[in-house]
């Protein structure tokens, strides 16, 4: 059964357990950074073809947007685990930073 209300901490724990049970070890941080870039590129390809002006190539139509986003989350989580980043804490601090910095910025943007 898939649990839909999983916390970032639980995501980090699940990835770590999977790596230790099935992945032997984490790839190096540099390899994972490169893989993250690759996964973001795959996500960008789907976005460009679904929401942008490009069309899908023959055989690409079955690409899954949610799966590509999950791939990005997976590799980002690996990097967080490897470098000792608590994603829950980092996210909360980042939200505070954005709120403090941009509290009125977007409301006052005539372009929006």
Structural domains of the chain ordered from first start: 8-102 (1.10.287.1080)
Query: Which two tokens mark 39?
Result: 């996964």
- Is residue 56 within 8 Å of residue 49, measured between CB atoms? yes
Q: What are phi and psi of 39, to 5 degrees?
A: -65, -40
Distance CA 79, CA 84 (A): 8
4 sits in which H/E element: none
- pLDDT category of residue 62 using cuts at 50, 70 and 90: confident
Q: Tens digit of pLDDT for each residue in 3-61?
A: 689 999 999 999 999 999 999 899 999 999 999 999 999 999 999 999 999 898 888 77
């Amino acid at each position: 059964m898939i649990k839909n209300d999983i916390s970032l901490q639980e995501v980090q724990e699940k990835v770590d357990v999977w790596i230790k049970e099935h992945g032997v070890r984490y790839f190096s941080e540099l390899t994972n950074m490169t893989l993250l870039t690759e996964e973001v590129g795959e996500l960008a390809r789907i976005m460009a073809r679904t929401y942008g002006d490009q069309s899908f190539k023959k055989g690409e139509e079955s690409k899954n947007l949610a799966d590509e986003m999950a791939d990005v989350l997976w590799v980002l989580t690996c990097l967080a685990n490897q470098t000792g980043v608590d994603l829950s804490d980092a996210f909360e601090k980042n939200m505070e930073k954005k709120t403090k910095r941009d509290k009125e910025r977007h409301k006052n943007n005539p372009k929006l």
